[in-house]
Amino acid sequence: MDRHGTLQAFVRTADLGSFAAAGRVLGLSASAVGKSVVRLEHELGVRLFQRSTRSIRLTEEGRLFHERCRRILDDLDDAWAIVAGAREAPRGKLRVSTPIVTYHLLMPMLPEFTLLYPEIELDLDFNDRLVDLIEEGVDVAIRSGDLPDSRLMSRVFCRYEHLLCAAPSYFARRGVPKRIRDLDGHCAIQFRLPNSGKMLDWPLVLGSGEAEPRLRTVFTCNNMEALRGATLAGIGIGCMPDFIVRDLLQSGALELVLPDHVNGAGLFHLLWPSNRQLSPKVRVFVDFMHERLVNPQSRSTA
């Protein structure tokens, strides 16, 4: 048995708990699997399994070796699937769940994607609800913040900055704050996070001994488009991601508030279920979006 076959015998035995079960999966006898594992132990110079008359279990060295071997075999399976799948044109319905605000990022790129992959039917759900990809049959999701679900794979989709902005009409009424303490008494437009219900913290960088400003909340919502509209109407100061106000800042419809005292880096991720056979339609979507927003120089070679 070659080295790849030997590692498969070891990993399957560790996964299934017996030489006989591993043999049934691999199409080998229990004796052949056991001999392969013994040869591997001799080659490594360590015992990988503790054996008894009724069961086998991994030693500590075996556990560490199993973790690495499992990743190696999974990566090899992925590489095989990618090359084999390259012969198949990506096709079928692709269900994507994404926050409402990301349409500013997605819509400019989707025409190109549909031209490149005409056999993919995009089904986009713009919704701030935290969906369960596996339970709801979603192929790809776009999310920000923590990614606690170990069943999901992820890749960076977009880096952005939260900015404080206000309309010139608001400044004309209330004045332009020059320092953080000048924000005392100013009107705040607050964003309530849809899934937790908490308010989005303003990313103010306070100096030593500097107190949080005493703002007056005049408007709260859980939709970033509504917050953008309220800020544009001159109701108060709003905190928003840079990609939804970039054009308004360029035109002068909105102006930055204390840009030297704000540090609001954010990150969106592309997520998909961590099954090892990544479908061609998911792979091309993830690669396309990552390249356009995170690695745009790759467009010339894509």
Please give the pLDDT value at position 300: 40
The reply to whether domains 3-85 and 91-302 share a CATH topology is: no
pLDDT of 256 reads 97
- pLDDT at res. 89: 76
CATH assignment, 91-302: 3.40.190.290
Q: Residue ranges of the domains in the chain?
A: 3-85, 91-302
What pLDDT does residue 302 have? Answer: 38
Low-confidence ranges of the chain (pLDDT < 50): 298-302
Q: How far apart are CA 252 and CA 231, in angstroms?
A: 13
Is the domain covering 3-85 a CATH 1.10.10.10 domain? Answer: yes
Question: Computed from CA positions of residues 217, 223, 228, 229, in that sequence, does the dihedral angle turn out positive or negative?
Answer: negative
Q: Sign of the CA dihedral 205, 208, 210, 211?
A: positive
Separation CA 168–CA 176 (nearest Å): 9
pLDDT at 147: 66
- The per-residue pLDDT for 301 is 40
